[in-house]
Amino acid sequence: TKWVYSFGNGLNEGRAEMRNLLGGKGANLAEMASIGLPVPPGFTITTEVCSAFYDNGRKYPDDLHAQVGAAMQRIEEAMGLRFGDADAPLLVSVRSGARVSMPGMMDTVLNLGLNDTTVEGLARSSGDERFAWDSYRRFVQMYGSVVMGVAHHHFEDVLDQFKRTLGVVDDTAISATQWREVVKAYHEIISEHTGQEFPSDPQAQLWGAIGAVFGSWMNPRANTYRKLHDIPASWGTAVNVQSMVFGNMGDDCATGVCFTRDPSTGEDVFYGEYLVNAQGEDVVAGIRTPQPMSRARAEEGQNPMETVLPDAYAELLRVRSLLEGHYHDMQDIEFTVQRNVLYLLQTRNGKRTAAAALKIAIDMAREGLISKEDAICRVPATSLDQLLHPALDPKAERVQLTRGLPASPGAASGAVVFTAEECEARAARGEDVILVRVETSPEDVHGMHAARGVLTARGGMTSHAAVVARGMGRVCVAGAGSVHIDYTTMVMTIDGHSIAEGEWITLDGSTGAVYLGRVATIPPILSDDFNTLMGWADATRRLGVRANAETPDDAKTARRFGAEGIGLARTEHMFFGPDRIGLVRQMIIADDEAVRQRAINALLTFQRDDFVSIFRIMAGLPVTVRLLDPPLHEFLPHAEGEIAEVATALGRTVEEIRARCASLAEANPMLGHRGCRLGLTNPEIYAMQVRALIEAALQVSDETGKGIVPEIMIPLVATKAELEVARRAAEAEIISVLQERGASLDYRIGTMIELPRAAIQAGEIAHHADFFSFGTNDLTQTTFGLSRDDAGSFLPFYVDHGLLPKDPFVSIDRDGVGALVRMGVERGRATHPGLKLGICGEHGGDPDSIAFFEAVGLDYVSCSPFRVPVARLAAAQAAL
Ligand code: ADP
Ligand code: MG
Ligand code: MG
């Protein structure tokens, strides 16, 4: 088996398409090298080695050593240097690289191959002793912490101590002799903490680092990240070994990170940060303040690369358009300049905010770089949620505390916390929290996930906090330098204000501002790009998109977001209003027919008004109204006062009412007297609702001249007979309304398919239905035989332990619940070819589920109003 693939210097055995085998980093290094870009030569050890390693009790394949040796030799030949050579040593970096970039993996080790002997050779061959010792101290620290597991801060403490004694601030001000001392101290720290000597043999260093990369694939951080992002452990990671180029050789050297377009806004401007005389992660580590790339983006006092290193900058501009043209996407590039010569060390499709994804997709389609279909697929459907996020109300009062970098847009308020653990704990209790850290690291990712927003004191636009927050759609303000955090007292101070854990602040991730307390927000304004994309999506999708809405506000939101109708109006929500609940209780509890009818008549007026306002808002679009569904006991009075109120209204004693309520109680109400069972045993309730609906439809038809066609939906049907009887009763009421009014009206009567039996019997049930709407919430409960209300105690365990791939209430269980949906579709249509088919569970707004509904051929999905744009885009993506 071929375990090792070389790249650079004319021998490129890999390609971008080989990401599964070579990991993202390795595949793209090979690709860049093969299109002639300056990539330092190296090789990639495949992800298959990682899998083989774990399959064979952590042992490498036999011939791996020989293949690595041969590939090392090719690098030596390409560079004209020898690994471990005392005069002119080859140095390499060892870099992990999974298929998708993954925090939690081993950090890169740079300058590998240095020891007390080779460092002198490097000093001589480069003619720069300071550079050689700077490289060595970096290597010892990286190797010591990353491979040998000595905590970072031990090294940092030593360095800080040194700097204090020397009275310097910048690392670049430290001389070779001084670095020698630091390196000696570092060696001591390592042997003190590990009981082992720092390995001086370059081969031992190399294999130590390779082993650390493969080992890190199974470390807890990586495991957590994989779980969070559905990445299978079987994918494995690759290891890249690459000859070093040096950005720390002086003032004509630099290292940087840049994006071919602005990853926050999507603007077509070259964007990024770099540092002169620096190496590796210096830019993101926040040790010195990175400088901007272009003059256009530079502020007073900044030194843009365009000015400082004009040749390398010009070369980078050329690379920028070359890479975009090649990858047809915005790229995130890591580069180093060694003595004015540019080298590329990484490229990948850049992470971006939802707003940037949208703008870039539309712009690139217009530029002809990608097709409209590509553009539709480039914007993750769920990310539209972020565009619909609130911004600060410009009129709101505010006290600004400070300003940092606008790292991830949107506005968020919450209680300040200083640890990821506290953040998670409070969020789990339903609190809004803002995570405040000096800087974040992969250990904080779970806390960031739980937070509304993230504030850091250190780090730039490409710092860990910024990148991760943008990816997650969390608001982030990064690098707010005046924030001082005391982790022991759990208090931060910002220019004299001191803010303790639990106090509120507000972040504006679009401007970088930090405010005291809670600042009011306003809903987002939808951009032209948003409308353009939605237009393209609408022209592409086959599935209709409706909304679940019953209040006028929801109906308006639904229309604003482009819903093509209402797929589910739940009438019970209308029963809970303060002006109605009393009447509902009388209706349920009264045993005197006349009293009961009086309550029902009063409710009729309310209900009719509800329907009138919805029909008006929906202006002729289809509206599906579900007749009363929940168990009656949900409406029963509980508090003493409530019971007394009903007693007075009905002229009964409190004891009588309490006894009646007790008799209505059920052990398993969700499987009890609800849905059509209720409507069939209390026909006057459904009759009232049907009458209200028809009268409202007639009224709004008259007003608007548009024929309103109400869709009446009977819930929780299990048998053909239930629907047959319920339908007959509804039609009798409809006919009597129409006769009273001397009017005519089109209507449809259909049912929810939300019980397994209904799906199985769909062919029979379809005889009496004009439409089906799959109620996938109840269908999931009843298919799995679990209750959503009680599943919290074990469902997360199931998902964590792989007993279920995903929460079936979030993403439809295709094999079980989905199979029933498919059966319902096929059997229903076999009986009734024109049967309209929709879905109205939570799954209607979930892109994965929408792809399934497209595949089984439903006519529409219906979801909550705020999910409508997500569903429109997901439906288009599913159709492509
Ligand atoms: P990450 O996946 O965390 O970005 P990388 O493997 O990309 O880690 O390494 C981080 C940084 O280290 C790179 O951006 C680059 O600056 C530096 N680096 C890695 N390999 C080399 C190399 N061969 N020569 C010079 N710098 C390197
Ligand atoms: Mg890293
Ligand atoms: Mg990188």
Transcribe 210-246 into DSSP letters: HHHHHHHTTSHHHHHHHHHTT--GGG-EEEEEEE---
Chosen domain end from 209, 243, 277: 243
Asked whether residue 819 falls in the same domain as residue 769, the answer is: yes
Let me know whether 709 and 815 are in one domain.
Answer: yes
Query: Do 442 and 494 share a structural domain?
Result: yes
Cβ of 280 less than 6 Å from ligand 1: yes
Ligand 1, atom 22, lies closest to the CA of: 244
User: 464, 768, 832, 843: which is the annotated catalytic residue?
Assistant: 464
Q: What is the pLDDT of residues 781-827, one digit of tens each?
A: 999 998 877 787 788 788 878 899 888 988 999 999 999 999 999 99
Q: How far is CA 411 from CA 380, 396, 420, 452, 725, in A?
A: 21, 13, 20, 9, 53
Residue to mutate, 91, 100, 274, 346, ligand 1, most ligand atoms under 8 Å from C-beta: 346
In this predicted structure, what is the pLDDT of residue 471? 63
- Counting ligand 1 atoms within 8 A of each CB, the residue from 110, 216, 287, 463 with the most, and so the one to mutate, is 110
464 is catalytic: yes
Q: In whole angstroms, what is the distance from residue 825 CA to residue 836 CA? A: 10
Answer yes or no: is the C-beta of 346 below 6 A from any ligand 1 atom.
Answer: yes
- CA–centroid distance, residue 280 to ligand 1 (Å): 5
**Rounded-to-integer distance, Cα 822 and Cα 813, Å:** 12
Q: Are 7 and 42 in contact (CB under 8 A)?
A: yes
Residue linked to tokens 């609800």 = 674
Residues 109 and 207 in one domain: yes
Residue 848 lies in a domain: yes
Helix, strand, coil shares of the chain as percentages rounded to 5? 50, 15, 35
| Residues surrounding ion ligand 2 at CB below 5 Å | 107
237 lines ligand 1 (CB under 6 A): no
> Number of folded domains in the chain?
4
CATH number where 413 lies: 3.50.30.10
DSSP bridge partners of 337 = 254, 342
Distance of CA 599 to the CA centre of its chain: 48
The active-site residue, picked from 253, 476, 661, 840, is 840
Is residue 252 annotated as involved in ligand binding? no
86 and 223 assigned to the same domain: yes
- The angle that helices 202-216 and 64-79 make with each other, rounded to 10 degrees, is 120
Report the run of H or E that residue 23 belongs to, with start and end.
helix 19-34
What is the distance in A from the centroid of ligand 3 to the CA of 348?
Answer: 9
Q: Is the dihedral of CA 571, 577, 580, 581 positive or negative?
A: positive
The closest alpha carbon to 273, from 301, 244, 306, 246, belongs to 306
Distance 754 CA to ligand 3 centre (A): 49
Q: How far is the CA of 108 from the centre of ligand 3 (A)?
A: 8
The answer, yes or no, to whether any atom of ligand 1 lies below 6 A from the CB of 95, is: yes
* The 405-408 sheet, strands edge to edge: 400-403, 513-516, 504-508, 411-417, 433-437, 453-456, 475-478, 405-408
Cβ neighbors of 154 (< 8 A, separation 6 or more) are 189, 193
- Considering the domain architecture, whether residues 710 and 783 belong to the same structural domain is answered as yes
Same domain, 782 and 805: yes
- For the CA of 108, the nearest ligand: 1
The answer to whether 626 is a known ligand-binding residue is yes
Question: Is residue 249 situated within a structural domain?
Answer: no
Q: Is 332 in the pocket of ligand 1 (CB under 6 A)?
A: no
Of ligand 1's listed atoms, the one at least distance from the Cα of 346 is 7
The region, left, alpha or beta by phi > 0 then psi within -120 to 50, assigned to residue 335 is beta
- Return the SS3 of 411: strand
The answer to the question of whether 570 is labelled as a binding residue is yes
What is the CATH number for 264?
A: 3.30.470.20
Q: Which ligand lies nearest to the CA atom of residue 441 in the structure?
A: 2
CB atoms within 10 A of CB 383: 19
| Same-domain pairing of 611 and 752 | yes
- Please give the distance, rounded to the nearest whole angstrom, from the Cα atom of residue 107 to the centre of ligand 2: 5
Known catalytic membership, residue 840: yes
- List the domain range (segments joined by +) for residue 457: 394-516
Q: Is 353 annotated as a binding residue?
A: no
Nearest-atom number in ligand 1 for the CA of 101 is 2
Q: Which ligand 1 atom is the nearest neighbour of the CA of 243? A: 23
Ligand that comes closest to the CA of residue 272: 1
Supply the CATH number for residue 559's domain.
3.20.20.60
Backbone angles phi, psi at 675, to 5 degrees: 60, -145
Residue 608 near ligand 1, beta carbon < 6 Å: no
Q: Distance between CA atoms of 855 and 857, rounded to whole angstroms?
A: 5
Co-location of 34 and 84 in the same domain: yes
CA distance linking residue 468 with residue 478, whole number of Å: 11
H, E, C per residue of 442-472: HHHHHHHHHCCEEEECCCCCCCHHHHHHHHH
Q: Is residue 658, in this structure, part of any structural domain at all?
A: no
Q: What is the pLDDT of residue 670?
A: 86
Residue 512 covered by a domain: yes
135 Cβ inside 6 Å of ligand 1: no
Rounded to the nearest whole angstrom, what is the distance from the C-alpha of residue 452 to the centroid of ligand 1? 31
Does the beta carbon of 336 sit less than 6 angstroms from any atom of ligand 1? yes
Domain of 19: which CATH number? Answer: 3.30.1490.20
CA–CA gap between residue 875 and residue 862 (Å, rounded): 11
- Number of residues that this document lists for the chain: 880
Determine the residue of 213, 273, 281 to mutate for testing ligand 1's pocket, defined as the one with the most ligand atoms within 8 A of the Cβ atom. Answer: 281
Residue owning the nearest CA to atom 7 of ligand 1: 346
Cβ-contact 184, 162 below 8 angstroms: no
pTM for this structure? 0.80
Q: According to the model, what pLDDT value does residue 602 have?
A: 94
Ligand minimally distant from the alpha carbon of residue 344: 1
Domain boundary among 296, 324, 352: 352
277 marked ligand binding residue: no
Point out the ligand 1 atom lying closest to the alpha carbon of residue 281: 11
Residue at 388 is within a domain = no
| For the CA of 97, the nearest atom of ligand 1 | 2
Residue 685 near residue 632 (C-beta atoms within 8 A)? no
Are residues 504 and 538 part of one domain?
A: no
Question: What sign for the dihedral angle of Cα 156, 160, 162, 163?
Answer: positive
Last residue of a domain, one of 516, 544, 559: 516
Query: 324 CA distance to ligand 2 centroid (A)?
Result: 24
| 754 labeled part of a ligand binding site | yes
Rounded distance between C-alpha atoms, residue 842 and residue 849, angstroms: 10
What is the 280 CA–ligand 2 centroid distance (Å)? 9
Within this chain, do residues 486 and 613 fall inside the same structural domain, yes or no? Answer: no
Residue 223 Cα, ligand 1 centroid: separation in angstroms? 23
For residue 69, being part of any structural domain is answered with yes
The answer to whether the CB of 216 is under 6 A from ligand 1 is: no
Q: How far apart are CA 30 and CA 34, in angstroms?
A: 6
Per-residue CA distances from 38 to 34, 104, 274, 281 (Å)? 10, 29, 18, 20
462 touches ligand 1 (CB under 6 Å): no
Evaluate whether residue 560 is within a structural domain. Answer: yes
Determine the Cα–Cα distance for residues 652 and 589; give it in Å rounded to an integer: 11
Nearest ligand for residue 257 CA: 1
Low-confidence ranges of the chain (pLDDT < 50): none
In 561-708, which ranges are continuous DSSP H helix?
A: 572-575, 581-589, 593-618, 640-650, 654-664, 676-681, 683-704
Distance CA 299, CA 234 (A): 47
Q: Going by C-beta distance under 8 Å and a sequence separation of 6 or more, which residues neighbour residue 513?
A: 400, 402, 403, 477, 507
Do 142 and 229 reside in the same domain of the chain? yes
Query: Is 368 within the bounds of a domain?
Result: no
Residue with tokens 């539709």: 376
Distances 723 to 56, 247, 623, 745 between C-alpha atoms, Å: 60, 76, 20, 21
**Is residue 704 a known part of a binding site?**
no
What is the 23 CA–ligand 1 centroid distance (Å)? 15
Buried b (16+ CB within 10 A) or exposed e, 628-645: bbbbbbebbbeeeebbeb
- Is 383's C-beta closer than 6 angstroms to any atom of ligand 1? no
Residue written as token pair 């040593």: 89
Ligand nearest to the CA of 281: 1
Q: Which two tokens stand for residue 335?
A: 């580069």
122-148 confidence digits (pLDDT tens):
999 999 999 999 999 999 999 999 999
